[in-house]
C-alpha cells in the first residue's frame, strides 16, 4: 500500500505571533491544513505531534482518534511521525492522520508543552481549585456513577478485597494479607468517597519487553506470546472535560479496536487486566469494553466473577491496589498478561489462551489495549 | 465575598490570548462561554475554534452562571492553599459545558453536597485573576 500526503499548511502568520499561544499555533496550522485538504477534525482518526501532548491536540481540536503518536525526539520528530503514520495507515490502524507542530519560540506565549505550564488549560481551569493529582481527579466521577447506577460504598470496596485475594497467591505482591470490606471502609479517608485501600500503592520497580516477528519467535527459548490485536485512543487532559464522567471514551475506542483487530468476542477472553490506579478502574473497564452492561460491573465483581475460580479472572497479580504501582503501572499489567499466556503466573488461570490487557494514561486522558494469545492466530 | 475554606492564595494559571476574554469576564462579574456561529455548539474551556465542527467563526457570550452539581470529591490530604477537607466539584452549566470548581457557602460534607443541587456562580478576587466559584441557589431563582 502506498501512503500519500493530501493536506499541508503552515500557520496563517509566521515570524512574531504574540496573540497566539503555542497550542493555538498547532490548531491554526491544523485548521489551515484541513482547509487545504477540504476536511474537518471529525474526518481525522489519527494524531501525531511533538512539543505538546497528542492528548492536548486531540481535545483542543475535537478529535476522537484511534491512533496516536507522541514520539518526541527533537526537531526530527515529525519525520518519525510521517513514517509511523505511513505504517499505521498500511496496517489499517488509521485512515487519515493529522501531524501538527506549533512553537511560540520567540513570543513564548502559553509555552506549556507536555508538563503543562502556567498557560495550559489545566493550570488555568483545574489547578486553582485545589486539585492534587490522581487522588482527587481520577476519582471525581465516582459519586456521579453511584447516583446514576446505585453502586454502594461496599461494592467499590469489594474491588480491593477481591484483588487482595489474588495478591495472596503471589509471593512478589507488596500486600498479601486478606482484607474485608470493613477493613477497606475503615481505612483512612483520602478523597471522599475513596479510602486508602481503594487507592494504588506507591512503589519502585521496572519492566521490559522484547518483540520480534512470529517467524523468528521459534528461535527464542520461551513459548511465544502473540499479539492478536491492539487499540489506542486519547480523550482530554482535563478530567472535568470528559464527555461522560461515568465512562471513558478512550477505553471504548481502544478496547473495541483491540477486540475487532484480534477478531475476538467477549467470550473468547480467558484472562483480563485493567490498569487499577483506583478501585473504580476495573468497573469502568468492564463496562466500557462491553464485558458488563452499564451499571452492572459492581454486582459482577461482588458476585465473584473476577476472583480466583471466577468466570473472568481479572488483575491476577493483585493489581496496582495490592501488587505494585510505580507510577506507570501499564508495564506490570503487560508482564502479568505475558506470564498468564506463558503459563507461568503465580496465580495461573488454568487453560488461559487469550488475555486482554487494558491500560489507562493520565486520568482517563489516554488508553492502550493489547490482546495476547499463546497460539498463532 | 464568598465564604471559602481557602486560607492562602490559590495556585493560578496564566491567561493566554485565547483565554483572556474569560478572565476579563470574571473580573467584570461575568461567566463567559463561547458559541459556534456555524453549528451552535457551546463549549468550554476557551479556544479560537469550534471543537464540534472545526469552524473559526465563534463568538463569546455571557452565560447565565447557573448550573448543577454533577460530581465531586472531598479531599482529605493537606493542600498548601486550603484548610481542612474541601470539595473539588464538577459543575454542569445550564448551557451544557462542565467546569471544575469549588462549592462555597456550603458545608464541605456528603450530607450538604447533594448531587444535582442547583448552583450559581460567584467570583473570588485573587488579585490578578478573579476565580469563578459556585454556591447553592434556590431552584426557582
Ligand atoms: Zn461548530
Global ipTM: 0.92
Question: For residue B138, what pLDDT is reported?
Answer: 85
Assess A9–B contact: CB distance below 8 Å, yes or no. Answer: no
Residues 274-313 of A with CB under 8 A from B: none
How far is Cα of residue A21 from the mean position of the Cα atoms in its chain? 28
Please determine, for residue A256, whether its predicted confidence score (pLDDT) is greater than 50: yes
Pair B55, B43: CB distance under 8 Å: no
pLDDT digits (tens, 9 = 90+) for A23-53: 999 999 999 999 999 999 999 999 999 989 9
For residue A112, the model assigns a pLDDT of 63
Min Cα–Cα distance to chain B from A86, Å: 25
pLDDT of res. A75: 87
- State the pairing for strand pair B118-126/A194-195: unpaired
The overall average pLDDT reported for chain A is: 95
Of all residues in chain B, the one with the smallest CA distance to A116 is B13
- Count structural domains, chain B: 1
- A-chain residues near B104 (CB < 8 A): none
Q: Is the pLDDT of residue A220 over 60?
A: yes
CATH number of A22-125: 3.40.47.10
Query: In chain A, what are the domain boundaries?
Result: 22-125, 134-373
The total of other beta-carbon atoms located within 10 Å of residue A300's CB is 22
- Determine contact, residues A365/A277, Cβ cutoff 8 Å: no
For residue A270, what is its C-alpha cell?
A: 480467558
Length of chain A: 377
Among A20, A35, A47, A129, the strongest candidate for a mutation testing the B interface, having the largest count of B CBs within 10 A, is A129
From the candidates B7, B10, B13, B72, which should be mutated to test the interface with A, based on the most A CB atoms within 10 A? B13
What does the alpha-carbon distance between residue B21 and residue B42 come to, in Å, rounded to a whole number?
15
Name the residues of A annotated as catalytic: 275, 323
pLDDT in tens, A314-348: 999 999 999 999 889 999 999 999 999 999 999 99
Contacts of B15 in chain A (CB under 8 A): 119, 124
Say how far apart CA A371 and CA A367 lie, in whole Å: 14
> Which of A17, A115, A124, A149 to probe by mutation at the B interface, max B CB count within 10 Å?
A124
In Å, how far are A28, B114, B121 from B118, measured between CA atoms? 38, 9, 10
- All residues of chain A having their beta carbon less than 8 Å from the beta carbon of residue B34 are none
The whole-angstrom distance between B140's CA and the closest CA on chain A is 23
H helices present in A12-152, as ranges: 22-37, 54-61, 77-91, 121-125, 134-137, 142-149
* Angle, vertex CA A281, rays to CA A208 and CA A350, nearest 5: 60
Q: Chain A within 8 Å of B29 (Cβ-Cβ)?
A: no
Helix (H), strand (E) at residue B25: helix B20-27
Map residue A67 onto helix, strand or coil: strand
Q: What is the pLDDT of residue A192?
A: 98
CA separation, residue A257 to residues A17, A233, A358, B66 (Å): 40, 9, 12, 39
- DSSP assigned state of A167: H
Chain A CB contacts of B13 under 8 Å are: 118-120, 122-125, 127-128
pLDDT value, residue A111: 80
**Residue A267: φ, ψ to 5°:** -65, -15
Chain-chain contact of B13 with A61 (C-beta, under 8 angstroms):
no
What DSSP state is assigned to residue A188? P
A248–chain B Cβ distance below 8 A for any pair? no
Q: Are A161 and A284 in contact (CB under 8 A)?
A: no
Q: Is residue B115 in some structural domain?
A: yes
Instruction: Give residue A355's pLDDT.
Output: 98
| B80, β-bridge pairs | none
Q: What is the pLDDT of residue B5?
A: 54
Chain B residues lying within 8 Å of A131, measured CB to CB: 88, 100
Nearest residue, CB atoms, B14 vs list A23, A41, A119: A119
| B1 located within any domain | no
Cell numbers at A150, concatenated: 446505585
Name every residue whose Cβ is closer than 8 Å to that of residue A295 and which is 6 or more positions away in sequence: A148, A149, A150, A151, A287
Give the class (CATH, top level) of A134-373: alpha beta
Is A377's pLDDT higher than 50? Answer: yes
B4 falls within a domain:
no
pLDDT tens string for chain B (141 positions)?
A: 455 555 688 999 999 999 999 999 999 999 999 999 999 999 999 999 999 999 999 999 999 999 999 999 999 999 999 998 999 999 999 999 999 999 999 999 999 999 999 999 999 999 989 999 999 998 765
Contact A20, B17 (CB under 8 A): yes
pLDDT of residue A115: 45
CATH fold match for the domains A22-125 and A134-373: yes
* Strands, E assignment, chain A: 46-49, 67-69, 97-100, 189-192, 194-195, 226-234, 271-274, 354-361, 366-373
Which residue from A minimizes the CA distance to B56? A31
B111/A contact by beta carbon, under 8 A: no
Closest C-alpha among A13, A25, A16 to residue A107: A16
**Where residue B88 sits, what CATH number does that domain have?**
2.40.50.840
- Classify residue B41: in a domain, yes or no: yes
Q: Is B34 on the interface with A (CB under 8 A)?
A: no
Which residues face A82 on adjacent strands?
A: none
Strands B86-93 and B98-101: antiparallel
Smallest CA-to-CA distance from A145 within A287, A291, A313 is with A287
- Domain contains B12: no
- The number of residues in chain B equals 141
Measure the CA–CA gap between B54 and B39, rounded to whole angstroms. 10
Domain that holds residue B59: 20-136
Amino acid at each position: 500500500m502506498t501512503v500519500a500526503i493530501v493536506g499541508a499548511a503552515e500557520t496563517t502568520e509566521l515570524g512574531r505571533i504574540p496573540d497566539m499561544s503555542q497550542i493555538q499555533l498547532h490548531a491554526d496550522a491544523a485548521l489551515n491544513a484541513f482547509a487545504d485538504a477540504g476536511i474537518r477534525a471529525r474526518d481525522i482518526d489519527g494524531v501525531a505531534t511533538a512539543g505538546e501532548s497528542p492528548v492536548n491536540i486531540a481535545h483542543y481540536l475535537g478529535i476522537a482518534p484511534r491512533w496516536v503518536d507522541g514520539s518526541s525526539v527533537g526537531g526530527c520528530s515529525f519525520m518519525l511521525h510521517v513514517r509511523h503514520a505511513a505504517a499505521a495507515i498500511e496496517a489499517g490502524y488509521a485512515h487519515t492522520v493529522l501531524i501538527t507542530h506549533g512553537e511560540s519560540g520567540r513570543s513564548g506565549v502559553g509555552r506549556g508543552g507536555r508538563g503543562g505550564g502556567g498557560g495550559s488549560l489545566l493550570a488555568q481551569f483545574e489547578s486553582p481549585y485545589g486539585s492534587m493529582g490522581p487522588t482527587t481527579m481520577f476519582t471525581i466521577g465516582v459519586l456521579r456513577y453511584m447516583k446514576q447506577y446505585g453502586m454502594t460504598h461496599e461494592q467499590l470496596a469489594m474491588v480491593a478485597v477481591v484483588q487482595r485475594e489474588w495478591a495472596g497467591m503471589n509471593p512478589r505482591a507488596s500486600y498479601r494479607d486478606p482484607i474485608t470490606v470493613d477493613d477497606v471502609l475503615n481505612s483512612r479517608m483520602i478523597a471522599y468517597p475513596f479510602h486508602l485501600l481503594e487507592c494504588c500503592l506507591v512503589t519502585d520497580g521496572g519492566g521490559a519487553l522484547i518483540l520480534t516477528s512470529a517467524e523468528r519467535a521459534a528461535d527464542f527459548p520461551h513459548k511465544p506470546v502473540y499479539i492478536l490485536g491492539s487499540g489506542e485512543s486519547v480523550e482530554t487532559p482535563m478530567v472535568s472535560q470528559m464527555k461522560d464522567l461515568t465512562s471513558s471514551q478512550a477505553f471504548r475506542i481502544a478496547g473495541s479496536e483491540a477486540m475487532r483487530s484480534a477478531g475476538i468476542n467477549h467470550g473468547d477472553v480467558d484472562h483480563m487486566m485493567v490498569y487499577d490506579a483506583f478501585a473504580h478502574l476495573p468497573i469502568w473497564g468492564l463496562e466500557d469494553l462491553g464485558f458488563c452492561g452499564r451499571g452492572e460491573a459492581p454486582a459482577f465483581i461482588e458476585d465473584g466473577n473476577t476472583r480466583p475460580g471466577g468466570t473472568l479472572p481479572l488483575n491476577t497479580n493483585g493489581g496496582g491496589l495490592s501488587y505494585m504501582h510505580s507510577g506507570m503501572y501499564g508495564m506490570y499489567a503487560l508482564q502479568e498478561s505475558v506470564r498468564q499466556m506463558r503459563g507461568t503466573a503465580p496465580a495461573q488461570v488454568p487453560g488461559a489462551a487469550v488475555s486482554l490487557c487494558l491500560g489507562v494514561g493520565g486520568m482517563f486522558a489516554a488508553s492502550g489495549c493489547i490482546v495476547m494469545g499463546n497460539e498463532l492466530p | 465575598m464568598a465564604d471559602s475554606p481557602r486560607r492562602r492564595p490559590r495556585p493560578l494559571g496564566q491567561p493566554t490570548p485565547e483565554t483572556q476574554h474569560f478572565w476579563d469576564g470574571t473580573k467584570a462579574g461575568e461567566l463567559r462561554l463561547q458559541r459556534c456561529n456555524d453549528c451552535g455548539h457551546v463549549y468550554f474551556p476557551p479556544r479560537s475554534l469550534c471543537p464540534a465542527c472545526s469552524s473559526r467563526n465563534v463568538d463569546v457570550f455571557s452565560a447565565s452562571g447557573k448550573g448543577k452539581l454533577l460530581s465531586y470529591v472531598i479531599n482529605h490530604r493537606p493542600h498548601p492553599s486550603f484548610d481542612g477537607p474541601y470539595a473539588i466539584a464538577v459543575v454542569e452549566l445550564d448551557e451544557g459545558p462542565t467546569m471544575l470548581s469549588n462549592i462555597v457557602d456550603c458545608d464541605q460534607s456528603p450530607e450538604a453536597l447533594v448531587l444535582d443541587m442547583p448552583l450559581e456562580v460567584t467570583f473570588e478576587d485573587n488579585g490578578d485573576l478573579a476565580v469563578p466559584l459556585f454556591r447553592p441557589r434556590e431552584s426557582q431563582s
